[in-house]
Amino acid sequence: MLHYGAAMAARFTYSRWDGTQQVPDLDAEAVMEQLTDDLLQHGDVGAALRRMLNQGMDMPDGSRVAGLEELRERMRQRREELEAAGEPDGRLAEVAAELADIIDEERHGIDNDLLAARASGDERRLENATSAATQRHAHLDLLPDDPAGQIASLSEYDFTSSEAQQRFDELTDRLREQMLSDMIDRVTEAAEATTADDVARMTEMLAALNEMIERRDRGEDPGFEDFMDSYGDMFDGDPSNLDELLEQIARRMAAAEAMYNSMSAEQQAQMQQLAQRFGADPALQQQMDRLSGALRQQFGSMNWDSSYDMNGSPLSPSEGIPVMAELGRLDELEQMLSGVVSPADLAEVDPDRVRDLLGPDAADALETLSRLTEELVQAGLVDRSEGRLELTPRGLRAIGSNALRELFSSLRDDHTGQHETFRIGTGHERTFDTKPYEYGDPFQLDLQRTIRNAIGRSGPGTPVSLSADDFEVERNEHLTRASTVLMVDLSMSMPMRGNFLPAKKVAMALHTLITTRYPHDFIGLVGFSETARTITAAQLPEVSWDYVYGTNMHHGFTLARRMLANQQGTKQIIMITDGEPTAHITPSGGVYFDYPPAPATIEATLREVVRCTREDIRINTFVLDATASLAAFVERMVELNGGRAFYTSNDELGGYVLVDFVERRRRVSRLSRTG
């Protein structure tokens, strides 16, 4: 297999380098290894890739590529952080607190006037002061509870305290400036509008922007360069075209709307009243509304109508708009990721947006995940057929090799017998025995034994003199043939007890073992549940359990026996099951099912066992989760057939089957040599 760098040299894609990208190398074989269990469990390449897409993957170098589930969790955490940034009440709390101080100061001024009148000794002055104090206190007592209502009422009030009057005037002037500034902040944070000339220029800019949009919609040159020459100083970010500028403005305006939507109904009412009292110039407001409508139409997917559960200290619009804008970008990214059902769909996700919101590692993870399908296709492991992904012959071999490697690597030392190592190979098998060389033998010289023979003949010393009689060569096994049918239980009890995946993994591993290490052998596959069926190697990854009741060993043995009838050499059936025979084929060809097993089913199954025995077919049974009745039936089979029974668990199954097969296969080879 070519290394990724060589295989992909002709189809790189490029993006602007910012110094943070570290896209990991993707190894298709490593991807397939991680997909093996999923493919064996479910048999669907597309579904397996979707699950990997969601769960992520481990890289050969030990690093971890985050999946969509982890990225969604990061987005959730970031959303919580942003929502805790503050409450978007538009400074209402600050205004309310300042109004309370102004009212207290006015009450204090009223009381001081009354005290001064009493101290003067002037009865008429005291009478007038008392009447005025009563009226003013009553007016203050009847003030509305909300800041907007208080401002409206105090605007018509004759203050006693000059300090309170001054503070109130300063507050209203400041609110007028803030409301104007908040409106400008909806468009840009780079411009101010504190004077009449500023307001006039802002109005002109908005009018020019609206006209530019209309020219573009008519198919005319919008005149973006001229616009930026006149008003470019009012915008940050140096947008390069009209669409970039409009998206920048739309994101701020949508964020401002989301901030307003996130206020309570009472807060919204207060802000509306303040806007009516301290609102901007009508011409400016008209252009602003015109722009908002156009941008809503063009960028409707932004968070114009969103609201968020904000909490914390009060946020001003200038503080809240960036927070709302980031929340909006998170919404958009989440919506994009929710539509991802295959690695190719990630091409629609903007990596720069992911990098800005979740960090460079998240962007790199999505870029890696987006290449999964193409890497497997380019490596020849999967192919597209009629709109779906299917394993190629090479992919089938890879799955079998992965299953075989995993099972052998997980064996305990006491299970491996004389198999110190295991390697897949073809051709003759080494026996690790030697023999004196005879004319016609393959000249596979055992140098150690040959030199030992020479030294034993002529004595120690150098140089060592060799003669033809000293030559000793490795002894190879004769090419012997064995025929095996693997019968796998596909009844519903297998997945319910966690036995299906281990059994299917054994089937793939055994098929790979025989076809690679013993290429002259025959291997057949039979699956059985209510009925039995033969399975080809190409079908094996997609085989699943059957949603029916019944364990029809009778039919399985019949098919296996027929498959072995025309084969040569030693014949055996390896059966993996976790249940008793509960179904059989009737003489009329129908299926009879009963549980507990009916005597007729037991008899039909054992008759087929006897037929196998007469045809010199040994049945070795690997029993999972054995009950007393299942064990009794299996022991009866062993008595009739002479095969063996292994009682094991799903985590030990692979070791039992593979080691038993290899040991039995070696015994067959030895018997062939000595026979």
Of 108, 26, 28, 20, which Cα lies nearest the Cα of 65? 26
The fraction of the chain above a pLDDT of 90, given in percent, is 35
505, 37 contact by CB (below 8 A): yes
Q: Are strands 482-489 and 522-528 parallel, antiparallel or unpaired?
A: parallel
pLDDT higher than 90, residue 94: no
The pTM for the full model equals 0.65
pLDDT tier, 158 (very low <50, low <70, confident <90, very high otherwise): very high
pLDDT tier, 11 (very low <50, low <70, confident <90, very high otherwise): very low
Across 23-27, 70-74, 196-200, 329-333, least confident range: 23-27
pLDDT at 372: 87
pLDDT tier, 8 (very low <50, low <70, confident <90, very high otherwise): very low
Number of H helices, E strands in the chain: 25, 14
pLDDT tier, 475 (very low <50, low <70, confident <90, very high otherwise): low
Higher pLDDT, 458 or 571: 571
* The pair of three-digit structure tokens given for residue 199, joined into one six-digit string: 């307001």
Strands (E) across 442-496 are located at 472-476, 482-489
631 residue type, one letter: A
Q: 482-674 is classed in which CATH architecture?
A: 3-Layer(aba) Sandwich (3.40)
Q: What is the mean pLDDT of residues 465-492?
A: 77
pLDDT tier, 659 (very low <50, low <70, confident <90, very high otherwise): low
pLDDT tens string 28-69? 888 888 887 777 777 788 888 888 889 988 887 778 888 999
pLDDT tier, 410 (very low <50, low <70, confident <90, very high otherwise): low
3-state SS string for 39-60: HHHHCCHHHHHHHHHHHCEECC
Cα 615 off chain centre by? 53
625, 575 contact by CB (below 8 A): no
pLDDT higher than 70, residue 416: no
pLDDT higher than 50, residue 425: no
Greatest alpha-carbon span in the chain: 149
Q: Where are the domains of the chain?
A: 4-8+24-83+333-391, 430-476, 482-674
pLDDT higher than 50, residue 173: yes
pLDDT higher than 90, residue 102: yes
Q: Which value, in Å, is the radius of gyration of the alpha carbons in the chain? A: 42
pLDDT higher than 60, residue 469: yes
Across 7-21, 200-214, 261-275, 282-296, least confident range: 7-21
7, 371 contact by CB (below 8 A): no
Across 321-330, 374-383, 410-419, least confident range: 410-419
What is the rounded average pLDDT for all residues in the chain? 82
